[in-house]
Structure 1
Amino acid sequence: MARGAARERARAAEVADLPAAVGRALETMPDAEALPGVWASQRTDPGLLLSGVVTPEIPWDEAMAALDVPALLLTGDRPGSARVGREGLATAARNPRITPVLIPGAGHQVRRSDPETFYRAVDPWLAEVLPVG
């Protein structure tokens, strides 16, 4: 619950000072994503944040084992930021439909952390599973 309460306090602070929220967003993400990102954060359900429930209730290993479509799972290994990390990738790798990729130094937002490495992983995977022509 504490984590959810902290997220709700951060959201409330953004609502209270939108110009500052936009300024912070512009410092950390591409301009084209800053305004939509702040807009989306303003529409987050405070009750959901306060609940602290931000992940599915099914255990990770069961969710990964049940996946029956091709999936590319990218994660970083930045402590405190990466949501899946090395251990989660190892679990996912047990399912042959999942292609696990670790992007060293990346955090939760892998594409923003290291866009070049992100696209080097994503583009060939997409070409393989969704061939054109």
Structure 2
Amino acid sequence: MSSHDPETPRQPLARHLAGPLTDEDAPVLVLSHGITDSAACWADAVGRWSASGYRIVALDARGHGDSPRWDEGDLADQDTAGARLAADLTDALEDLRAHGLDGSGPLRAPLIAVGHSMGGVTSLDVAARCPDLLDAVVAEDPAFVTPAWRRLLALDAVRRVRDMRQVAADPEARVRLEQAAHPTWPPVEVRASVEASCGVDLRFIALGCVSPPTPWQEVIDSLAVPTLIVTGTDRVVLRGDNLTNITVRANPWISTAVVLGAPHCVRRTFPERFHAVTDPWLAHLPRVRDK
């Protein structure tokens, strides 16, 4: 496959819409999933937030779900792939802001990015660089990584690709395994996660890329929209000093919440506790866009 022709626009990310779509005043939540997942992996949250009056735009990241596969030029290394993750989300948000959910005209309602892991750090990166696009961000255990961690992820990528191939070879076996390992996960999301793994673009997984290349310090210091970072305490990215290093920078726009005992998938493991943190915070945001 040849690299992308810069004169040819890239295909946009796939969108999955839910909620009161005809209510032009309803805030819009743009959901960005973690690596190897898809928009379908938000099913439980989509149901809850839709019932609370939010319009939902759940995105499939490039190479995931129904979105286009990766261009070779963007797969040169972790930096180029990470930059494409951020550019894709920026493009999606710019289009929503300019044309709305149905293309009928500019979006007047608040636009809020919500992301997990890869999607969480990408949402924070875009919010830091383009504050006029967004009104708030919620990031669930965002995948902030150091240069050393990036090297380890690259070394582990071969194992990750092998694991994805094993999932695709017997998805039902993996569904049973995941259900036993994660009994509190919404069953619909267990299956959706396995199905997403079966179709992910393995060329992207082989890079070990989980985030845009912007240093985490720059992202944290640059954020200038209301931001909620939610993490746990069990094998999470933002544990110990990783979370302290964020909070000591004292950016007044950032709030943090720790769900004790929760792993990296905070929301799936403890849905009620996750929503008890995020939903009141979302409810206190202005319901009218002030930008």
Question: Normalised by the size of structure 2, how large is the TM-score?
Answer: 0.41
Match of residue 171 from structure 2: 18
Distance in 2 separating the partners of 1:88 and 1:31: 31
Q: 1:43 — aligned with what?
A: 199
Are positions 1:72 and 2:217 aligned together?
A: no
- Please tell me whether residue 92 in structure 1 is matched to residue 239 in structure 2: no
From 234, 248, 257, the counterpart of 1:101: 257
**Equivalent residue number for residue 8 of structure 1:** 161
Distance 1:22 1:37 in 2: 9
| Deviations 1:24-49 (CA, angstroms, capped at 9, x unpaired) | 23332321212211121122221111
Asked if the contact 2:171–2:198 (Cα under 8 Å) also holds between the matched residues in 1, the reply is no
> What's the TM-score once normalised by structure 1's chain length?
0.84
**For 2:238 and 2:286, how far apart are their aligned partners in 1?**
25
Is 1:34 aligned to residue 187 of structure 2? no
Higher helix share: 1
Give 3-state SS (helix, strand or coil) of 1:51's partner: coil
Opposite residue 105 of structure 1, the aligned amino acid is G
Q: Partners of 1:36 and 1:130 in 2: how far apart?
A: 33
Q: Structure 2 counterpart of 1:18, which letter?
A: P
Task: Rate the CA distance shift 1:50–1:31 in 2: closer, same or farther, 3 A.
Answer: same
Percent identical pairs in the alignment equals: 33
| DSSP-derived class of the 1:36 partner | helix
Alpha-carbon distance in 2 for matches of 1:90, 1:51: 29
Please give the secondary structure, in 2, of the residue aligned with 1:68.
coil
C-alpha distance in 2 between matches for 1:83 and 1:55: 13
Cα RMSD between the aligned structures?
A: 1.9
* Contact 1:73 1:89 (8 Å CA) reproduced: no
Partner SS for 2:206? helix
Q: Which 4+ runs in 1 deviate beyond 4 A?
A: none
Number of positions where the alignment pairs a residue of Structure 1 with one of Structure 2: 130
